[in-house]
C-alpha cells in the first residue's frame, strides 16, 4: 500500500464548470469520507468550507452537488459541515468508472487555483488515478510514500450513551437528506427526552469532529 499526494492546477474548463461553487466558496477541504457509494453516486463527507467575504453559511443549503446536512462547527468564515454529495445522472457512469478501490485520505483541498488530493492504495490503482486526474489539470507536484494506515473506531471517543444515540440516528436515517426520521421520533426509539437526545448528539458531533481535526493547528 502506498499513499499518493497530488497538486494539480485545474484546466480553465474545469474552473468554469465549478464557477458557481467558487462564487460563494473560496475553498473547501474534505476532512473525512464517511460513506462512498459509487453505484448510487452518493457520498457522505465532513467538509470544511472557507466562504467568500460577505457570504453567510446560513444562506447556503447546497454547494454545487453537495447538500449541507448539518453545520458542525463555525469559526470566522470557516464552517465544518456534514454533507451529502449526489452525482448527476448524466455523469454517474463516469463516477462509477472512477472507483479504483482507493481510500480517500488527507490533505484533500479544492480551490480555483489548485487541487490537492491524497489517496491510498495499490501502486497500479494509484497510477490509474494519476492518469485520470491529468484530464482535469496540470500536475504541479506528486509524491508517493509508504502508507501508514490503521483502522480506528472513531466512535471510541464517545460515551456509551452518545454512541448509542449516534448509531441509532445514522441507522434510522436522521442524517439523510431529507431526513427519514425526526428528532421527536428518534428520542422515542432510544427512550430519552428530545432535549437530552439533542444534547447527546451535539456533544457527540463535537467529540467526533475534534478527533478528526487533531493535528490541524488553525482549529
Domain borders along the chain are 2-146, 154-212
- Each residue's pLDDT tens digit, 165-192: 988 898 898 988 788 999 999 999 899 9
User: Looking at the chain, how many residues does it have?
Assistant: 219
pLDDT at 105: 87
Helix, strand, coil shares of the chain as percentages rounded to 5?
35, 35, 30
Q: What is the pLDDT of residue 11?
A: 97
User: Higher confidence at residue 167 or residue 112?
Assistant: 112
Q: Tell me how far apart the alpha carbons of residues 117 and 102 are, in angstroms, rounded to a whole number.
A: 12
Please state which CATH number belongs to domain 154-212: 1.10.10
At residue 218, the pLDDT reads 44
What distance in Å separates the CA atoms of residue 102 and residue 100, rounded to the nearest whole number? Answer: 5
Q: What is the pTM of this model?
A: 0.68
Amino acid at each position: 500500500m502506498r499513499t499518493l499526494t497530488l497538486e494539480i492546477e485545474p484546466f480553465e474548463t474545469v474552473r468554469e464548470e465549478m464557477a458557481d461553487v467558487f462564487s460563494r466558496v473560496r475553498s473547501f477541504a474534505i476532512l473525512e469520507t464517511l460513506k462512498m457509494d459509487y453505484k448510487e453516486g452518493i457520498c457522505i463527507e465532513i467538509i470544511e468550507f472557507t466562504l467568500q467575504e460577505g457570504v453567510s453559511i446560513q444562506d447556503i443549503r447546497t454547494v454545487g452537488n453537495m447538500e449541507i446536512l448539518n453545520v458542525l462547527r463555525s469559526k470566522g468564515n470557516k464552517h465544518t459541515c456534514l454533507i451529502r454529495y449526489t452525482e448527476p445522472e448524466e455523469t454517474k457512469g463516469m463516477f462509477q468508472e472512477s472507483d479504483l478501490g482507493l481510500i480517500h485520505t488527507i490533505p484533500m483541498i479544492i480551490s480555483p487555483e489548485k487541487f490537492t488530493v491524497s489517496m491510498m492504495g495499490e501502486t497500479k490503482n494509484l497510477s490509474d488515478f494519476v492518469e485520470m486526474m491529468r484530464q482535469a489539470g496540470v500536475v504541479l507536484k506528486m509524491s508517493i510514500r509508504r502508507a501508514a494506515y490503521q483502522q480506528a473506531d472513531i466512535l471510541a471517543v464517545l460515551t456509551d450513551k452518545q454512541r448509542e444515540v449516534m448509531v441509532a440516528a445514522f441507522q434510522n436515517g436522521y442524517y439523510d437528506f431529507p431526513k427519514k426520521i425526526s428528532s421527536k421520533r428518534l428520542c422515542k426509539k432510544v427512550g430519552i427526552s428530545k432535549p437530552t437526545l439533542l444534547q447527546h448528539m451535539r456533544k457527540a458531533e463535537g467529540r467526533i469532529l475534534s478527533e478528526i481535526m487533531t493535528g490541524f493547528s488553525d482549529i
